Amino acid sequence: MTVRTVSTTPFADQKPGTSGLRKKVIAFQKPHYLENFVQSIFDSIGAPAGSTLTVGGDGRYYNREAIQIILKMAAANGFGRVLVGQGGILSTPAASCVIRKYQTFGGIVLSASHNPGGPDGDFGIKYNIGNGGPAPEKVTEAIFDRSKTITAYRILEAVDVGLDVVGETPLGGMVVQVIDPVSDYADLMETLFDFGAIRALLAGGFRLKFDAMHAVTGPYAKEIIEQRLGAPVGSVMNGVPLTDFGNGHPDPNLTYAHELVEIVYGDNAPDFGAASDGDGDRNMILGRGFFVTPSDSLAVLAANATRVPGYKAGLAGIARSMPTSAAADRVAAALGIPCYETPTGWKFFGNLMDAGRVTLCGEESFGTGSDHVREKDGLWAVLFWLNVLAVRDQSVEAIVREHWAKFGRNVYSRHDYEGLPLEAANELMKHVHDSFPSLPGSQLGSYQVQFCDDFSYTDPVDGSVSTGQGVRIGFTDGSRVVLRLSGTGTEGATLRIYLEAYEPDVSRHHLDAQVALAELIGLALQVTELKARTGRDQPTVIT
C-alpha cells in the first residue's frame, strides 16, 4: 500500500456554515471536493502522528463512500487509529460521546442534519474537537483558509475497509476499529436518568411514540426505549435508517414530522410523542394533543433538573442561543444561576460547558443538551422528559401549563421563508440594517421600538468576538422580533423570523401562538418589506 500525493486546486466555496460544510451530494462527488476539505482539516488541526480520530455519520447517501475516503486519507496523514461506528453510523451526540469517552484527538461527523438526503439531496461534513464539540470559529476559519490555498492531498492506495463487523482492521500503518455505535451512548444515558422509574412508568400503561424519521436515531431509540426501558415493540416508528430518509425531510417539527403529529393529535393518542432529526441531535416533544416549543422545553427541563439523577446537584448555569426565547432566563433567575445568550449554533456553548459555567443549553431550533457531551442531543431530551414525567406523574400539558402559571409564558414562534433568491434576501437584511437609525422610539401599531441592533457576542471564556449574528428589534414591553439568514441551507437563502412576546396573564395562556403573535408578525412583514422584496408573505414552515 502506497501513499499517493494528489495535486489539486482550491474550491472557493468550502466555508463551513452554522454546523459544518453542507452542499448537495453532487457537489461532494466532484473529483477532489471532499478530499480537499478533509486535507484542509488535517492540515489545520495539528494532530500529532499516531493520534486517534472518531469518524461516523448519519447514514445518508454517500456516507459510506465518504468514510472510505476519510479512512484512507487519515492513514496517509499519520493517524494511528480511527474509531468508526459500525456500518459508518454514529449519531452526532454519539460521536461526541465517543470522542470524549475514548479521548480521541477529534472527530469527523458526516451529516447534513435535517436536510433531505439521497442522490439529489444534501451531504455534510464537520470537524469536532477533542472536547467532543463542534469546532469553534477559529478552527473552522483556519480550515476554510487552508481550503483556499491547498495544492495537494495525501491518500493511501488501498481496498475499502469492511465497516459492518465490529473489530480491528489494519490500514497502512493505521488501525481501523469498528465500534458498536449505540452501546457507549446508551450506557451514558443510563448514568444520567432513572431508567427504573421510566420502566415503571411504561409498565404502568403510559404510552409513547418516538419517530426516528428513517434517520440515525432508529437503532439508538430501539435499544434504549424498547430494549432497555421495555416500551412495546413499535413504540419507535420509522426506526430503520435509510440513505434517503424515505424521501422525507428528517426535521422534527410540526410540518415535517406530520405522521407523528397526526398520531399524537388523533384518537386514542399516546401520552407522549417525540421525534429526532437526521443526525439525532434535535428533538421535538409532544404531549397528547399538545406541542412543547423547544424554548419552553429548555425552561421546563431546567426547572425540573434536580428531579433527575444526573442533575440532582443542581445546574451551574444555562445557555441559550440569542433567538431562543427568554423562558429559560426566568428559570435561571429564580434558581439564582447565570443565563448566557450566545449566537446560533452549538459551537458557541462548548467553552461555557468546558469552563463549568453552564450545565444545560438550548436552541429554539429543537436543540437541547447538557454537559454530558458537547453536542445537542435528541434522545437525551426525550429521556429527560420521560424521567420528569415518571417523577411528577402529570401530563406533558399539565407540566407546561403549571410552568407558565409560575413563570409567565414566553409566547414564541419562528417563521421560515425558504428558497428565497440570495440577492433579495441580502437586500432585505441590508434594508433592515439601514432602518436602524430611524426605528428606535418609533411607534409600530401598539408596539414601540426600544432598540435594534445586530447581535454580537464576546465569548466570556476566551474573549473571541463573533459579529453579525442576527438582527434584533426589541419593543418596550419586552417583545421582540429577530431576523437571521440561515447558515445551513444549500439552495438560495432561508430567512428566519423569530417572534416572542411575554404573557404573564394566565387567562391568556390558552391562546394559540400565531394568534397571540399576530400583530408582531404583521410588524415583521412591514419592517422587512418582505412581500415587496420577495413576493412572499406566507412562511414555508412555522415552528
Sites of contact with ligand VG1 (CB under 6 A): 18-19, 113-114, 277, 281-282, 321, 344-346, 363, 365, 367, 486-488, 496
Q: Which of 134, 47, 113, 192 is nearest to 353 (CA)?
A: 134
User: Residue 439 and residue 427: Cα distance in Å, rounded?
Assistant: 18
Residue number, 249 or 282, with CB nearest to Co ion:
282
> Considering only 71-79, 270-278, 358-366, 457-465, which stretch makes contact with Co ion by CB under 5 A?
270-278
Nearest approach, Cβ of residue 474 and ligand VG1 (Å): 20
Nearest approach, Cβ of residue 123 and ligand VG1 (Å): 13
Nearest approach, Cβ of residue 543 and ligand VG1 (Å): 10
Shortest-Cβ-distance residue relative to ligand VG1: 113
Shortest-Cβ-distance residue relative to Co ion: 113
Q: Which of 43, 122, 277, 459 binds Co ion (CB under 5 A)?
A: 277
Residue number, 44 or 344, with CB nearest to ligand VG1:
344
Confirm or reject binding of residue 122 to Co ion (CB under 5 A): no
Residue number, 155 or 242, with CB nearest to Co ion:
242
User: Residue 89 and residue 182: Cα distance in Å, rounded?
Assistant: 9
Nearest approach, Cβ of residue 450 and ligand VG1 (Å): 25
Residue number, 175 or 541, with CB nearest to ligand VG1:
541
Nearest approach, Cβ of residue 91 and Co ion (Å): 9
Contacted by 96, from Co ion, ligand VG1, none: CB < 5 to 8 Å by type:
none
Q: Is 466 a catalytic residue?
A: no
Burial class (CB in 10 A: 0-12, 13-18, 19+), 466: middle
Q: Which stretches of 193-319 are DSSP H helices? A: 195-203, 217-221, 258-264, 294-304
User: Residue 9 and residue 95: Cα distance in Å, rounded?
Assistant: 31
Rounded to the nearest 10°, the torsion over CA 473, 421, 125, 413 is 40
Residue with cell 429577530: 482
Kindly state the DSSP code that residue 226 receives in the 8-state scheme: I
Size of the site for Co ion (CB under 5 A): 5
Confirm or reject binding of residue 253 to Co ion (CB under 5 A): no
* 505 to 524: interface string for Co ion, x by CB under 5 A: --------------------
Confirm or reject binding of residue 279 to Co ion (CB under 5 A): yes
> Considering only 133-141, 235-243, 271-279, 406-414, which stretch makes contact with Co ion by CB under 5 A?
271-279
Q: Which of 221, 215, 220 is nearest to 240 (CA)?
A: 215
Among the options 113, 295, 297, 365, which is catalytic?
Answer: 113
User: Residue 54 and residue 76: Cα distance in Å, rounded?
Assistant: 16
Q: Which of 113, 342, 370, 410 binds Co ion (CB under 5 A)?
A: 113
Q: Which stretches of 275-420 are DSSP H helices? A: 294-304, 327-335, 350-354, 378-392, 396-407
Confirm or reject binding of residue 251 to Co ion (CB under 5 A): no
How far does CA 66 lie from the centroid of its chain? 22
Nearest approach, Cβ of residue 104 and ligand VG1 (Å): 20
User: Residue 225 and residue 239: Cα distance in Å, rounded?
Assistant: 12
Q: Which of 285, 278, 268 is nearest to 210 (CA)?
A: 285
Residue number, 51 or 92, with CB nearest to ligand VG1:
92
Confirm or reject binding of residue 281 to Co ion (CB under 5 A): yes
List of long-range contacts for 3-6, beta carbons under 8 Å, 24+ apart: 3/75, 3/76, 3/154, 3/155, 3/156, 3/157, 3/172, 4/76, 4/154, 4/155, 4/156, 4/157, 5/152, 5/153, 5/154, 6/32, 6/35, 6/152, 6/153, 6/154, 6/155
Residue number, 282 or 372, with CB nearest to ligand VG1:
282
Residue with cell 391568556: 508
Active site residues: 113
Residues lying near Co ion in the complex (CB under 5 A): 113, 277, 279, 281-282
